[in-house]
Amino acid sequence: MKKLKYTSIILASSAIFMFGSCSKDFLNQPAEDQVEAPYFFNTEKDLEVATNDFYSMLATMEVYTNDANSDNLMPLNPANQIKGNRIVPVASGSGGWSWGNLRKINYFLENYHKVGSQAAKDKYSGIARFFRAYFYYDKVKTFGDVPWYGKVLSGKDPDLYKPRDSRQLVMDSVLADLDYAIKNIPPEKQLNLVTKYTALLLKARISLFEGTFRKYHKIEGSEKFLTEAANATQELMQSNAYTLYTEGGPQAAYRNLFGRDKQDNIETILAADYELGLKVHNLGYLFTSATSGSYGLMKDAIDSYLMNDGSRFTDKANYKTTSYFQEMQNRDPRLIQTTAGPDFRVNGESKNEPVTLNITTTGYRLIKALPNRSQWATSASVFDLILFRYAEALLVFAEAKAELGTLTQADLDLSINKLRARAGMPNLNLAQANANPDPYLVDMYPNVSNTANKGVILEIRRERRIELFNEGQRWDDLMRWKEGKKVTKPMVGVYFSGVGGHDFTGDGNADVFLHTGSTTGAPSTVTSMININQRTLRNPITGQQKATSGNLDPFPQGGVFDEERDYFFPIPSEDLKLNENLKQNPGWK
């Protein structure tokens, strides 16, 4: 099977040329690409090699680290976008405002026609337009309105200095690219290559983002994009090309999907392939290092998981002060397949792992996509990384129809309830959810209006957070729902009733010992020591910081989010000077 490779082709077409990032003297030089074009793009293999270069645009490791820029995971060093410390970048082309990849795509689209095979032209032009849509989706969600370039620009082209195009024009162009890709890329199941199915899911992802962004930010056109999202997912679902991975049953399938070294195309639509000696990554190290990642799940994410009978954990009177061992009992099985539970074992091992809290900021250790121990060293991980999977389509389908007001119980049974069945959870009932919206989620997402579908929208958001946890979409979700203020709420971890020993495994012996500087009296069974003068606690009832009982508080300064500014990133100051028709995003100086 062909592998997804991040190869670079040395063509004059990939000469350094970024919109707004070059001096005018350079822009006035002859275009070198016009010399080389006649010698390339002549065979189907040329088109394949050229489009292989586009795969480097895809997020890979970032898929499994970007949740640390949100309210899902707290890393050792909190992200600037959570701290409110983002600043206007200076250097042209920095901060995401780079356009070199777009030039390569447009150059391909202007030159691929020479190949004789119509099937090859259809396929590879479809792949190129898939990546142009992917490129512009990233730009729009980052900066809002951006200039649309559907051609290669010469050094004298006045469009180099044009203002931003409207969001409507850009996103309509993105949809046109995706529709072309869906029509022209073959409906193959290729684990490591973009196919029609990948294009359908990307269209669904982008359309849901745009539809809900417009709805909650009060921009016209939301229904069109929500309808496109529902239709794209329905087409993917009705193709019967993919289903959910269930090997291991409810207690293991979810973890097994991400924890194996090699993916298959049962649920996984696109994955990045890694092999020892050829291409490796270091996620295993980041997930287990006390000095690098040290990721910890947030308490409010833990609280969002239902009980295994479908009832709400947060309906319990003492849910805020429940001990670690007790809160892990009788929950949605995905909880202890995402964070280390009382009986956590590393993949491939027969003994439970000791409780180790020095590698997690919150006490809730991340284990989703954690590989076997041999892959925990720096740059030693070789497990494949899932980039697109079928479960997302089910979530998009349900959310789009709920936001449109057309969701039925049959729709839920085709989507959300298949995800719950994989986890051994009871079905979501539309009427019951809408009759009794969860107060915990109402407080979490205050911008959901009091419509007939409020309860089920909240439940779908619960399901999305749980199912897609640590897959890099949480920040985008908060932005499209206009819930940026969520990151200003306390981000805390495990609750401790006070100093002394705490049993995390339920065997009657202490595993964690909290102290104020002296470890005298710590039981011999303890495997983690916490000095609460250094790793402070926040009382969940009074909000008191540096308390003697409460939740681990790894981010005591708290998040900052400016509603008038922080939904978009700033454009580099040098680019504003190079193109005076560009205007900075509101609130950035």
Q: Give me the amino acid identity at 65.
A: T
Q: Provide the pLDDT for residue 12.
A: 35
Q: Over 50: is that where the pLDDT of 9 sits?
A: no
Cα dihedral across residues 228, 233, 238, 239: positive or negative? positive
SS3 34: helix
Lowest-pLDDT choice from 147-151, 208-212, 275-279: 275-279
| C-beta separation of 483 from 447 below 8 A | yes
> How far, in Å, CA of 225 to CA of 229, rounded?
6
- Is 50 exceeded by the pLDDT of residue 31? no
pLDDT at residue 589, rounded to an integer: 87
Tokens of 430: 């539309």
Specify the pLDDT at position 4: 47
For the chain, what percent of residues have pLDDT higher than 90? 92
pLDDT tens for each residue of 322-377 = 999 999 999 999 999 999 999 999 999 999 999 999 999 999 999 999 999 999 99
pLDDT of 36: 64
**pLDDT attached to residue 410:** 98
pLDDT digits (tens, 9 = 90+) for 135-149: 999 999 999 999 999
Q: pLDDT-derived band of residue 11, with 50, 70 and 90 as boundaries? A: very low
What whole-number distance in Å separates Cα of residue 422 and Cα of residue 431?
22
Instruction: Give the model's confidence band at 24: pLDDT under 50 very low, under 70 low, under 90 confident, else very high.
Output: very low
- The pLDDT tens digits for 370-408 are 999 999 999 999 999 999 999 999 999 999 999 999 999
Look at residue 37 in the predicted model and tell me its pLDDT. Answer: 65
Q: How confident is the model at residue 39 (pLDDT cuts 50, 70, 90)?
A: confident
Say if residues 575 and 567 touch (Cβ distance below 8 Å). Answer: no
**Hey, CA dihedral for 447, 453, 454, 456, is it positive or negative?**
negative
Query: Which pTM was predicted?
Result: 0.93
Query: What integer best gives the mean pLDDT of the chain?
Result: 93
Would the pLDDT of 7 be above 80? no
pLDDT of res. 154: 87
| Tokens, residue 292 | 């690098």
The average pLDDT across 150-178 equals 95
Q: What was the pLDDT predicted at 18?
A: 34
Say if CB 371 and CB 417 are below 8 A apart.
no
Cβ(34)–Cβ(111) below 8 Å: no
E-strand ranges in 349-474 read: 385-389
Distance CA 19, CA 98 (A): 7
> Cα 461–467–471 angle (5° rounding)?
105
Quote the pLDDT of residue 155.
Answer: 84
pLDDT digits 0-9 by tens, 477-497: 999 999 999 999 999 999 999
- What band does 261 get if pLDDT is binned at 50, 70 and 90? very high
pLDDT of residue 396: 98
Least confident of 31-40, 45-54, 275-284: 31-40
Q: Which of 65-74, 154-163, 499-508, 542-551 has the lowest mean pLDDT?
A: 154-163
